Structure 1
Amino acid sequence: MRILVTGENSYAGRQFEKRMLELNSDWEIDFISVRNNEWKMKEFSSYEAIYHVAAIVHQKEKSENESLYYKINRDLTYELADKAKLEGVKSFVFLSTMAVYGLIGKIGEETIISKDTVETPTSYYGKSKLEAEHKISVLQSDDFQVSMLRIPMIYGYGCPGNYASLSKLAKKTPLFPKINNRRSLVYIDHLSDLVMYLIDNKAHGLFLVKNPEDVNTLVMVNEIAKNNNKRIINSNILSLFIKSFGNKFSITRKMFGNIIYKNEDCKIDGFQYTKLSFEESITRAEGKELGG
């Protein structure tokens, strides 16, 4: 089976290729850049599926780059899917985001997202991804399967963005607030396994994606530190400060707030994640060998 991945240097795409090699899959993974219009000359007919991960993300949003979000995250997505359908590709997997809900969670309060939660995106990123979902969903047919994956924060070895920042913090800070929270995250290999399953089974629809278990930021930071032979003091004093003032700032809400997907709405018929504990996933994310 031949799969075309958009985004030559995309983290999710390259990790998908790596995972297929680990699983001894005979799938052939090709990459294509979509930074310019050269992709329009590419012949798609030899591919069974397209895994579309290229997007504008991890950039500071400004009014002057609003149109770029819609051009790349929405319009390009539709153009790729439309071309794929016209040229006989069987499956189109679109990496969307939890940001379509416009929620970041609060400290001390539960935020649970289900399939019935209304989408109210507040960022260009979330809005453009949601509009992309709407546009490509109409292309769904018996011969063209469209899968849309609303993912939370990804983590894994070499992962850019929020996990990289958290890992860097865990290796340096001597103290961390003792706050118990719950956040839905997805380990990169779990995501890759799911994409493989959806393509292999010609599945379609909207999927809420997360690890089998939710994550406590405190536990995650301690686990990262442990894997790097560091020790962090879990501070009650810092936690009192964060609990008192943290909800006023998005950065502390994103780190210590509660926001999870409803477990029942993340189940996919016939699919089970590889048995890998959260602790083992952090060990691998930190580039360490399991059992080492």
Structure 2
Amino acid sequence: MTKRILITGKNSYVGQSFTDYCSENEPGLIIDSVSVRGDEWQSLDFTSYDTILHCAGIAHNSSDSNLEDLYYQVNRDLTIAVATKAKAEGVKQFLFMSSMIVFGNHPSGKTYINAGTVPNPDNFYGDSKLQAEIGLEKLQSEDFKIAIVRPPMIYGKGSKGNYPLLAKLAKKSPIFPNYPNKRSMLYIGNLCRFISLVIKHNDAGKFHPQNAEYVQTSEMVMLIAEAYDHKIFMPKSFNFIINKMFRLNIIKKVFGELYYDQEMSRYKNRDYQKFDLKQSIILTEAVNEG
């Protein structure tokens, strides 16, 4: 069965990765993409599309109050405007790339999220995503399915954000603390397979995909180092100091805990977690190196 998908956010990491994934693995999913900067997208005819995959948005976190209005304009208002047009023109499904950030972070740096956890964003980035979700839910109907995807940190070939910084450190540093922590992460290959399944089954609801196993920061650093045959010493002797420094944001970011209950990420017995952590690191770093 052929489906036509329009990706908003022509240069987005998820959008580009999903296009590449479908060209190699999903010939029945026909992909187009469009930039939604400016107003030109409003004249595009949506009637031939089955699904809008909305990847457009501001993807990085910022505490700059001067950007607050822009976050709401792009992450909330633009999202709702695109969805409103899609519904009016007969699109059957709208898939919104939201974020784990809607749940906020516990001040302790240890955040565990389960099915009963209520979204509680602690910055305007997270709140702009949550407000978009609320607006989208008002548009949902029997003929217009809304799928909201709240991924944790996404990594893979060409990814941005914290992963490249961690990889750079892993390739050069002779030492890194062996600190026990637990994080939900999502390899781009697993995410693309997940998105394809949601689209093919025309599903609706809120989804929380993640890798099959949690990530310990030191384990990820070690795997990256191994991909480059770089030896790195990982002592536990720094852990006492790290515990004393958890009030610092940089320590929370590197060694804090932020993870979903695995039950939240199960998806109707459909297997999307094709790549485990070691495989995903080997693929990411081997391809990047070449």
Shorter-normalised TM range: over 0.9
Secondary structure at the aligned position of 2:14 is classed as helix
Secondary structure at the aligned position of 1:159 is classed as coil
Question: What TM-score do you get using the length of structure 2 for normalisation?
Answer: 0.94
Is 1:208 aligned to 2:208, yes or no?
yes
In structure 2, the partner of 1:138 is 138
Is 1:280 aligned to 2:279, yes or no?
yes
- Judged with a 3 Å threshold, the aligned counterparts in structure 2 of structure 1 residues 285 and 153 are, in CA distance, closer, same or farther, namely same
**Structure 1 CA distance, aligned partners of 2:283 and 2:173?**
21
The one-letter code matched in structure 1 to 2:96 is F
Deviations 1:115-146 (A, max 9, x none): 21121111111000000000001111111110
State whether residues 4 and 31 of structure 1, in contact with CA within 8 Å, keep that contact through their aligned partners in structure 2.
yes
In structure 2, the partner of 1:62 is 64
**Structure 1 CA distance, aligned partners of 2:26 and 2:147?**
24
The one-letter code matched in structure 2 to 1:261 is Y
**Structure 1 CA distance, aligned partners of 2:262 and 2:186?**
13
Unaligned runs of 5+ in 2: none
In structure 1, the partner of 2:24 is 22
Percent identity over the alignment? Answer: 41
State whether residues 62 and 125 of structure 2, in contact with CA within 8 Å, keep that contact through their aligned partners in structure 1.
no
**Structure 2 CA distance, aligned partners of 1:231 and 1:243?**
26
- Judged with a 3 Å threshold, the aligned counterparts in structure 2 of structure 1 residues 126 and 141 are, in CA distance, closer, same or farther, namely same
Is 1:258 aligned to 2:257, yes or no?
yes
In structure 2, the partner of 1:115 is 115
In structure 2, the partner of 1:97 is 99
**Structure 1 CA distance, aligned partners of 2:129 and 2:276?**
31
**Structure 2 CA distance, aligned partners of 1:285 and 1:74?**
32
Deviations 1:143-196 (A, max 9, x none): 111000111100101101111111111112111011111100111111111111
In structure 2, the partner of 1:81 is 83
- Judged with a 3 Å threshold, the aligned counterparts in structure 2 of structure 1 residues 218 and 106 are, in CA distance, closer, same or farther, namely farther
Structure 1 stretch displaced more, 170-179 or 20-29 = 20-29
Q: 1:71 aligns with which of 70, 73, 86?
A: 73
In structure 2, the partner of 1:44 is 46
Tell me the C-alpha RMSD between the 2 structures.
1.7
Question: What TM-score do you get using the length of structure 1 for normalisation?
Answer: 0.94
- Judged with a 3 Å threshold, the aligned counterparts in structure 2 of structure 1 residues 275 and 191 are, in CA distance, closer, same or farther, namely closer
The one-letter code matched in structure 1 to 2:272 is Y
Secondary structure at the aligned position of 1:248 is classed as coil
Shift of 1:276: 2.2
**Structure 1 CA distance, aligned partners of 2:210 and 2:106?**
16
Shift of 1:210: 0.9
**Structure 2 CA distance, aligned partners of 1:136 and 1:24?**
27
1:175-190 equivalences under 5 Å are: 175-190=175-190
